[in-house]
């Protein structure tokens, strides 16, 4: 079951989906750092990650 994360900062449309939770976390951190110039707390990543079922 893949993992998904939607960035909730401002009007950001960024969304990442991967079968690897580690990959999602890595890409989310990279996105927040590069796009928003800040860091995201581990707890916020954990809270934001959803497991999704493919239709
Ligand atoms: Zn974002």
pLDDT in tens, 2-55: 999 999 888 999 999 999 999 999 999 999 999 999 999 999 999 999 999 877
Specify which residues 18 forms β-bridges with: 3
Cα of 54 to ligand 1 centre, how many Å? 23
Yes or no: say if 32 and 42 are a contact pair by the CB < 8 Å rule.
Answer: no
Task: Please report, for the chain, the start and end positions of each structural domain, with discontinuous segments joined by +.
Answer: 3-51
CB within 5 A of ion ligand 1: which residues? 7, 9, 12, 14
Report the phi/psi class of residue 10: left, alpha or beta, with left for phi > 0 and alpha for psi in -120 to 50.
Answer: left
- Supply the pTM of this predicted model: 0.88
What pLDDT does 1 receive? Answer: 83
What pLDDT does 53 receive? Answer: 87
């Amino acid at each position: 079951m893949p993992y998904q994360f939607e960035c909730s900062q401002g009007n950001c449309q960024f969304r990442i989906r991967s079968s690897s939770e580690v990959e999602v976390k890595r890409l989310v951190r990279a996105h927040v750092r590069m796009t928003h110039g800040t860091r995201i707390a581990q707890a916020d990543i954990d809270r934001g990650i959803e497991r999704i079922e493919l239709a």
